[in-house]
A and B are shown apart, each in its own frame.
Chain A
């Protein structure tokens, strides 16, 4: 336990690094992934405005990024990371691959969230002479909101755990802290403390996500 107190500043820093990574990557993924998800839904074959060829291309890109093992993506995009943040090590550099991985991940979830809604309200809106933009804003996003909040929760939880891998580029974070002390230095106590912190973080995210989703869902 003494050791933990000794490492407290480092532990705090690691926690803050995790917050920074998740705090930038997830909002960016939501901001950029949501339009991609909507786009995939709208232009799917048999969708509101089918664009089968372009859809196949975009869908293919999304699948490609998603199927890259995270560590390989991390390394593959190093030149891009340097271009974007000027460095390839540290928390800022780790945020780039995390975000790039999270965007298509979140986009697919949003696409699914909207697909599950059923076509009734969209049909009624078309009959009311709504534009495509009006249908997206006033119907699809409104009815998909609880599900999308659920997707934000899932993405956040997944990427808290992904962020443990960015130690490879010196990204830091609580997961990396656990690996460094537990795996490389055999300081099991320290590792356990870090893992408990991660579990608490994930539990908190999941609990608040579920709660907010339930509050916005008016179907029951």
Chain B
């Protein structure tokens, strides 16, 4: 279980008021579930996600993951605890000059696995989970976006974490590739029992994957509901932002005249 209690995260800004990226958020995420976090750009989604593994230490509040109160740990203890929490990113964040296998090995190395052959075996197992074994000796530059994200998932899973944090993992991918990557996340959740937290600005992603949705706006968690509600005919989110995100669809005023030509 992941438990955020009254988490507030402020960023000091020189000569200005601090930016409050996350404000008094409390959220319980049950073990083995998939939690979606949705909101507009700047709503504080990434900051909240980074609060879970303390990449960003909350200014106020407590964070507990898998029974460990992370906010009370010192740096060394926190490093150890992070081996239990995998993370993937929009930009994949692989090491370009390492092969796919070496990239995955890295998380095991960081977790203290000194035996190289043990690392290689376990890295290969992780690559198998996302069906990318045949790319083991390729370099990231030789992979497509979807393949890179699968390698990043393998890297995050190699240490057998309890939680997988995903910051817009499909925002750089086309819809088809997005579906593939989301499928792997669903499989990982189901087969390995890993709790998944996914940040996105696309309700489609939430609908496809999440058990629960948290809607953020201006640093606050403004609304929560089970994502199954999104499939109900009579469901309307309480907040206008929730309704907007649900109705998604882009409309642009190009300033065209009735005749269809430019003004």
Contacts and interface: CB of A to CB of B under 8 A. Distances in A.
B146 to A, nearest CB: 17
B87 A124 contact: yes
Contacts of B83: 128-129
B85 interface: yes
A143 B139 CA distance: 12
A123 B90 CA distance: 12
Given A124-B87, A127-B82, A129-B79, A143 B110 contact: no
Contacts of B82: 126-129
Contact of B106 (A128, A146, A218): A128
B97 A126 contact: no
A120 B97 contact: no
A121 B81 contact: no
A146 B97 contact: yes
A131 B77 CA distance: 12
B109 A139 contact: no
A125 B110 contact: yes
Interface string B212-224: 0000000000000
A142 B97 contact: yes
A212 to B, nearest CB: 14
Contacts of B186: none
B89 A123 contact: yes
A139 B97 CA distance: 9
A127 B96 contact: no
Interface string A99-135: 0000000000000000000001101111111110010
A146 B92 CA distance: 21
B95 A127 contact: no
Interface in B122-171: 139-141, 152, 155-156, 159, 165
Interface residues of B, number: 33
B95 A142 contact: yes
A83 interface: no
Given A120-B91, A120-B93, A138 B80 contact: no
B94 interface: yes
Contacts of A129: 78-83, 110-111
B95 A121 contact: yes
Interface string B174-215: 000000000000000000000000000000000000000000
Nearest to A118: B91
Contacts of B81: 129
A125 B98 CA distance: 14
A220 interface: yes
B97 A143 contact: yes
B249 to A, nearest CB: 31
B201 to A, nearest CB: 19
A219 interface: yes
Nearest to A139: B95
A216 interface: yes
A124 B98 contact: no
Interface in A75-108: none
Name, among B87, B96, B152, B159, the residue most crowded by chain A CB atoms within 10 Å (CB to CB): B96
B48 to A, nearest CB: 15
A138 B107 contact: no
A123 B55 contact: yes
Contact of A121 (B87, B93, B107, B165): B93
Contact of B85 (A127, A131, A139, A146): A127
B53 interface: yes
Nearest to B158: A128
15 contacts: A121-B95, A124-B93, A124-B94, A128-B82, A128-B159, A129-B83, A129-B110, A129-B111, A134-B110, A138-B110, A139-B95, A142-B98, A145-B97, A216-B97, A219-B97
Interface of A: 120-121, 123-131, 134, 138-139, 142-143, 145-146, 216-220
6 cross-chain pairs, A with B, having the tightest CB-CB distances, nearest first: A129-B82, A120-B93, A124-B93, A127-B87, A218-B139, A129-B79
Interface of B: 53, 55, 78-83, 85-87, 89, 91-98, 106-107, 109-111, 139-141, 152, 155-156, 159, 165
